């Protein structure tokens, strides 16, 4: 893979605290990459090092083969959108967007025309004369995005820009940001702790945890083939089952509560080794009686969470908690406190890690 943005051995220490440890990452030109992880995982620190607002303790950052070492933020040709947008309240939308061009010595008339073009691109044609207080949160976010893109940056960095928006507007802006990014072909890094944002917008996702990169993969690869127990538990919902491999050649492992569990064959497991098995809730069927050709166990239902079009059924098989995702209409066959049958196939069981 030809690398446009390359991070090599990036570490960051604050005294005795290590915020980042040996982060290596290659991003292609035009790619939309999301940094995903819980609070304090290192994703924003990495973004700030790329932007130049933080200095790495060790390591290097290169864009198009050129080092960014020693360059101030304004010298890096990087567009940034923060969660609070940072618009000048006394300037109009067009003046806010024009500001980076003004700092670069553009002719005012030419620069304001360019600003209006960018406002049109982000869906704000005719809003250039309005001040930030006359704009909604979503419109302010679009102005901030236009300002970050107006000077044709080499990189676009987005630091949780949708966090202040309500759910419907956030989903709308996810679609808009991706549309604009594809139209311009700008290499983009998006920081979020929201899995759904990362899954719906990204070409690839970088999962951070405790200052380390856990996995870099496409959304579907992360969901179906997590490489670590942390990724399996953090991305989507999952049933994580601790087991001991009894027959690696046949793909069989034992769990105290579930008994023999067959899994999709893999070279990750060896006879006698401890493994974590993952079954996604939507891959489990809930029924009154056993279903032939599947692994069947009896589960006592503890909680049913209805979402309208689907429901999450949470129960226990001995000491093993299990989560089952069913269509909303199908959940009527069972009530909380009752016992049902859950079942799955071998191909639904994935070996996460030893």
In this predicted model, what pLDDT tens digit does every residue of 25-46 receive, in sequence order?
A: 999 999 999 999 999 999 999 9
Angle at which helices 167-184 and 137-149 pack, to 10 degrees? 20
Q: Is the dihedral of CA 103, 83, 205, 120 positive or negative?
A: negative
Q: Residue 326 maps to which CATH number?
A: 2.40.50.140
Residue 222 has pLDDT above 80, yes or no: yes
* Nearest Cα to Cα of residue 156 among 3, 9, 27, 66: 27
The band of 354, judged by pLDDT with boundaries at 50, 70 and 90, is low
Q: 272 and 200, same structural domain?
A: no
Q: Domain span at residue 166?
A: 5-230
* β-bridge pairing 155-159 and 66-67: unpaired
Asked whether residue 113 carries a pLDDT value surpassing 80, the answer given is: yes
pLDDT of 68: 93
Percent of the chain residues topping a pLDDT of 70? 98
Q: Check whether residue 169 and residue 255 sit in a common domain.
A: no
Q: Is the pLDDT of residue 199 over 60?
A: yes
- Of 230, 249, 282, the residue at which a domain comes to its end is 230
63 has pLDDT over 60 = yes
CATH number for position 190: 3.40.50.300
| Residue 203 and residue 98 share a domain | yes
What distance in Å separates the CA atoms of residue 237 and residue 243, rounded to the nearest whole number? 19
What letter would DSSP give residue 198?
H
Q: Are residues 211 and 312 in the same domain?
A: no
Mean pLDDT of 45-61: 95
What's the pLDDT at 267?
84
Give the pLDDT score at 164: 67
Does 195 lie in the same domain as 104?
yes
Residue 342 and residue 208 in one domain = no
Q: What pLDDT score was predicted for residue 161?
A: 81
Rounded to whole angstroms, the Cα distance separating 121 from 143 reads 10
- Please, which pLDDT band fits residue 331 given cuts at 50, 70 and 90? confident
Is the predicted pLDDT of residue 207 greater than 70, yes or no? yes
**Is there a contact between 268 and 351 (Cβ–Cβ < 8 Å)?**
yes
Residue 3 has pLDDT above 70, yes or no: yes
Residues 219 and 246 in one domain: no
**Domain end (from 199, 230, 261):** 230
Residues 269-323 have pLDDT tens digits of 889 999 999 999 999 999 999 999 999 999 999 999 988 888 999 999 999 999 9
pTM above 0.85, yes or no: yes
What are the beta bridge partners of residue 240?
278
Q: What share of the chain is helix, strand, coil (3-state, %, to 5)?
A: 30, 35, 35
- 145-188 pLDDT per residue, tens: 999 999 999 999 999 887 767 777 788 888 888 988 998 999 99
Q: Is there a single domain that holds both residue 217 and residue 261?
A: no
For the cut 70, the answer to whether the pLDDT of residue 1 exceeds it is no
169 and 43 within one domain = yes
Q: Would you state the pLDDT for residue 141? A: 87
Tens digits of residue pLDDT in 230-277? 999 999 899 999 999 999 999 999 999 999 999 998 888 889 999 999
Given 182, 210, 230, the domain boundary residue is 230
Number of domains, the chain: 2
β-pair partners for 26: 6
Mean pLDDT of 85-101: 92
Do both 226 and 241 map to the same domain?
A: no
Nearest to 203 by CA among 37, 43, 32: 32
């Amino acid at each position: 893979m030809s690398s446009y943005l390359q991070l090599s051995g990036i570490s960051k220490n604050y005294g005795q605290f290590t915020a980042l440890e040996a982060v290596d990452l290659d991003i292609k030109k035009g790619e939309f990459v999301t940094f995903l992880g819980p609070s304090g995982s290192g994703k924003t620190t990495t973004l700030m090092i790329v932007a130049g607002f933080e200095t790495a303790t060790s390591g290097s950052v290169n864009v198009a083969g050129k080092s960014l070492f020693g360059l101030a933020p304004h010298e890096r040709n990087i567009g940034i959108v923060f969660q609070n947008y940072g618009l000048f309240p006394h300037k109009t939308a067009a003046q806010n967007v024009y500001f980076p061009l003004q700092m670069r010595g553009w002719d005012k008339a030419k620069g304001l025309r360019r600003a209006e073009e960018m406002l049109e691109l982000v869906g704000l044609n005719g809003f250039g004369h309005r001040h930030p207080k006359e704009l909604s949160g979503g419109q302010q976010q679009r102005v901030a995005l236009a300002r970050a893109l107006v000077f044709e940056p080499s990189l676009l960095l987005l630091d949780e820009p949708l966090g202040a928006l309500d759910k419907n507007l956030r989903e709308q802006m996810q679609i808009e940001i991706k549309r604009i990014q594809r139209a311009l072909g700008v290499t983009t890094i998006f920081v979020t702790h929201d899995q759904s944002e990362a899954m719906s917008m990204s070409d690839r996702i970088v999962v951070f945890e405790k200052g380390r990169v856990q996995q870099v993969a496409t959304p579907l690869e992360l969901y179906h083939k997590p490489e670590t127990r942390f990724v399996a538990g953090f991305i989507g919902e999952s049933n994580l089952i601790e087991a001991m491999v009894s027959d690696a050649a046949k793909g069989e492992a034992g769990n105290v509560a579930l008994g023999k569990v067959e899994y999709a064959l893999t070279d990750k497991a060896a006879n006698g080794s401890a493994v974590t098995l993952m079954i996604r809730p939507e891959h489990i069927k809930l029924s009154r009686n056993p279903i032939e050709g599947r692994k069947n166990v009896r589960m006592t239902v503890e909680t049913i969470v209805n979402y309208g079009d689907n429901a999450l059924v949470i129960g226990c098989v001995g000491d093993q908690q299990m989560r089952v995702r069913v269509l909303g209409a199908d959940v009527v066959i069972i009530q909380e406190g009752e016992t049902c049958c859950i079942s799955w196939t071998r191909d639904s069981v994935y070996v996460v890690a030893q």
